Structure 1
Amino acid sequence: MMAYSEPLDIYVHSELELCVKEILSFIKPTVDDIQKRESVINELAGAIQIDQSLRGASVKAFGSYISNLYSRWGDLDISIDMTQSSTSSADRWCKLNALEKIMWALQRTGIANNIEFVRHARVPLVVYQSRRYNISCDITIDNRAGYVKSYILRLISNIDERFRELVLLIKECAKAQHLNDPKTGTLNSYSLCLLIIFHFQTCRPAIFPPLRDLYKGNIVDDVKGHSTLRHVEDSFVAKIATFRSEISGQRNQSSICQLLISFFDKFSALGTMASNHAISTYRGEWKPIYSNRRFLRKAQVLRIEDPFEQTENAARAVDTEGLAMISQTFSDMHRKLSSRSAPLDRTLLLDNLVRPEIKSDLEHRREPMNPR
């Protein structure tokens, strides 16, 4: 449908290569970051035991921590599984009641700062910051779908190591450019991951296959019903191995910087394409919006089909102003990073690719990176 510049043909300034390596080395989680998150989970599991009705509930991480697509400063998404406790969470009222008890437990045990109960959200949650570990946490109830999607994203990321690196770069850049906040009409992190999957599917040669080639059907529904998560995992692993074998002689050789620049190029026309098409990572193609009746029934300006729950739009929070800002920013980023005439220096790159506080940390690092 669209002609894209092939990443391998893209010129990359040497300063961009150095800067990207430095950013990635700084934002990737350390062993200490991983241990702190495990400690936060155990800390919360202990705190909720003071309420008798919550005893037996299990505390499970999901989101970017499970998919391994988080930076050192990433939030921690946590689901409280009530199925083994005395409190049923079959409906919204029960979930709200459970969250109120969790909020009380956080206050009573003193492990949390900045506690907020977001009761009117589409998925109600309690937000807090661990007092000891300074990690922001979002708690939901029985978020099985969130866990399943996170787990499958981790399997997908194992296809190619460049996926995780590009996700970390794009998420950090999106935060720096104010494009990663669904509350203000821009993209959530899950949508950004899907855009990158789509980018990998539409490169030539493709880095990822259409996701239906790895598993046919709505995974979230199947895991709830007859199929177990292990069955889904086995299917993914087997078909990933087949895909890798098929492309072994023609692996895409694009560098992470070439993939970064071509990402911004590909989606700089997002606003134009979104008026009539949805992004489908399930099929690996732009899909006319009239092919999904659910999309037609809702006035949404950007449609990114959830590959694991195909009736859902992962980008439903994006509004008209947000979409225009996303498209313009992507276009500007492509122009800045691909220009051969305009000078590219480290300060300019950091201004565009990372948040101010991370730029400050990078500028004051005592041991500059030793490029190889």
Structure 2
Amino acid sequence: MNSYRQVESTLKEILEVIKPLQEDWVTRFKIIDELREIVQSIESLRGATVEPFGSFVSNLFTRWGDLDISVELSYGSCISSAGKKHKQTILNELLKALRKKGGWLSIQFIPSARVPILKSISKWQNISCDISIDNLQGQIKSKFLFWLCEIDGRFRDMILLVKEWAKANGINNPKSGTFNSYSLSLLVIFHFQTCVPPILPPLKDIYPTNVVDDLTGTKDDAERRIAQICSSNIVKFRSCRTINRSSLSELFISFIAKFSDINLRASELGICPFTGQWEYIENNMRWLPRTYAIFVEDPFEQPENSARAVSQRQLIKIAEVFQMTRHMLISANLTRSTLLPILVGPQISRFFVNHSASYSSSNGSHYLNPYPHPHPHRSVQSPLQMQQQHRQPLYEKSRPSTSQMQHQAPKVVSPASNMQSQFWKNKGVEWTGAEPSISKKDPFGLTSSIASATSISEVKD
């Protein structure tokens, strides 16, 4: 087996392990519903809603991924947002309510953050939750990322793999001066824009202006307008693009190679997914005066730097991790056992021992492809289509639950369909158990399928 084949099979096996199961969806619905009950019990939050965003909404979360939740205050139909001090007050009230309710662990209030946040760990599978107030911008960014997943299914796979690799190598922690998950996602977007032929267009070709600046007026109207522009431009891009047929391993290896000298480039160049290009910092008036170790511009909230937490010292470490990984990936004697430690963390590596044993045949060989993988160019499914429903029985029997991975007693989980149906019904989306359809109440819905015959551009006022 040559290097690319070994990397390809290992990457796909990692995806088998880290992609969510039905119980992982159910758990997050339970957390959302529980938090909704707590919010409704607080007098000052009457009329507020609880909205998930982040990787759960964009369908870019792993089985043990965090859950981002926004408590949306009631302002009628118009877009508005509480001031920072008011958000701090509300989160402090919510903190007291969580403690009174019980079952929420390690509650931490971070009032001084750019976006005040309440961090806690739910009793359900120990899922870490970040709770903020009026985070409409976060919700919209999440929806954009989901739409990008629909352009090409390899985008989702790459982000899951890159985030897992970054965590394993200690460069996915903004508290320690490295990348946050959002900036890593933007690096993948940029890679897909700059490979040949490009898989994704410059994001200005999907939405030509700054998204957050257009969140004005009535919320439904603003969301409908943004959705229709994006849908039309995505359809246009898909109709005239040249298909990139690179394998997942080729894309992953070229991603690592592209950013191996990131510390050297960062002194002069910024990464701009909006234009899909490296840009000279000294020529970009939006970025000056430059005070960051590296600039990865947020394409939806320009000119914010999504990598502002990265320190100069840690940028050197980041480059070293890229270089070490590149050297390993192109080495001649690659094996699965040498790849896993650099691609996943110790918790996942230990699980792979059991995972591989489940596929061992009588002659000691491993069955690494328990079900056919989707075509790399086809559109991803809705976030609400459970990943395991197309798997073969052999894989289902051998794959332990998330709770087992966390060394907890297995739980009996009821089917998620009713919870999904109610969740999306509240958002104006009709859920039938397969591919949800979009009602006119939610033309900006998460479940749009741009690649299918029914796209959000078809929704009429």
TM-score normalised by length of structure 1: 0.92
Among candidates 80, 102, 106, match of residue 71 of structure 2: 80
- Would the aligned equivalents of 1:305 and 1:314 in 2 still touch at CA under 8 Å? yes
Among candidates 261, 272, 275, match of residue 269 of structure 1: 261
3-state DSSP class of the match of 2:215? helix
Map of 1:7 onto structure 2? none
**Residues 188/224 of structure 1: CA separation in 2 closer, same or farther (3 Å cut):** farther
The structure where helix makes up a greater share of residues is 1
- Would the aligned equivalents of 2:3 and 2:334 in 1 still touch at CA under 8 Å? no
Map of 2:396 onto structure 1? none
In structure 2, distance between residues paired with 1:224 and 1:339: 53
Residues 143-194 of structure 1 show CA distances to partners (whole Å, capped at 9, x for unaligned) of 1111111111111111100000000000000000000011111001111011
Among candidates 233, 244, 248, match of residue 239 of structure 1: 233
Among candidates 344, 367, 371, match of residue 358 of structure 2: 367
Superposition map of 1:39-188 within 5 A: 39-84=30-75, 90-188=82-180
Q: AA paired with 2:123? A: R
- Would the aligned equivalents of 1:48 and 1:106 in 2 still touch at CA under 8 Å? no
3-state DSSP class of the match of 2:71? strand
In structure 2, distance between residues paired with 1:48 and 1:305: 34
Q: Are 2:19 and 1:28 aligned?
A: yes
In structure 1, distance between residues paired with 2:237 and 2:40: 46
In structure 1, distance between residues paired with 2:195 and 2:310: 25
3-state DSSP class of the match of 1:116? strand
For structure 2, the 5+ residue unaligned runs are 360-366, 373-461
Greater mean deviation of Cα atoms: 222-231 or 286-295:
222-231
For structure 1, the 5+ residue unaligned runs are 1-10
- Would the aligned equivalents of 1:113 and 1:128 in 2 still touch at CA under 8 Å? yes
Among candidates 331, 338, 342, match of residue 339 of structure 1: 331
1:225 is displaced (CA, Å) by: 4.6
In structure 1, distance between residues paired with 2:174 and 2:324: 21
Among candidates 315, 320, 325, match of residue 328 of structure 1: 320
Identical amino acids, percent of aligned pairs: 43
Superposition map of 1:274-293 within 5 A: 274-293=266-285
3-state DSSP class of the match of 2:244? coil
3-state DSSP class of the match of 1:290? helix
Q: Are 2:198 and 1:206 aligned?
A: yes
Among candidates 4, 11, 14, match of residue 5 of structure 2: 14
Q: AA paired with 1:267? A: F
3-state DSSP class of the match of 1:296? coil
Q: AA paired with 1:229? A: E
Residues 204-240 of structure 1 show CA distances to partners (whole Å, capped at 9, x for unaligned) of 1111111111111001111235761222122112211
Residues 255-294 of structure 1 show CA distances to partners (whole Å, capped at 9, x for unaligned) of 0010000000000111111111111111110111123334
In structure 2, distance between residues paired with 1:89 and 1:127: 20
Q: AA paired with 2:33? A: N
Q: AA paired with 2:72? A: D
- Would the aligned equivalents of 2:27 and 2:124 in 1 still touch at CA under 8 Å? no
Q: How many residues align?
A: 356
Q: AA paired with 1:242? A: K
In structure 2, distance between residues paired with 1:182 and 1:224: 31
Q: Are 2:221 and 1:230 aligned?
A: no
Q: AA paired with 1:217? A: T
In structure 2, distance between residues paired with 1:63 and 1:181: 16
TM-score normalised by length of structure 2: 0.75
Runs ≥4 residues deviating over 6 A: none
In structure 2, distance between residues paired with 1:306 and 1:224: 19
In structure 2, distance between residues paired with 1:277 and 1:132: 44
- Would the aligned equivalents of 1:48 and 1:54 in 2 still touch at CA under 8 Å? yes
In structure 1, distance between residues paired with 2:165 and 2:349: 12
In structure 2, distance between residues paired with 1:128 and 1:298: 34
Compute the RMSD of aligned alpha carbons.
1.7
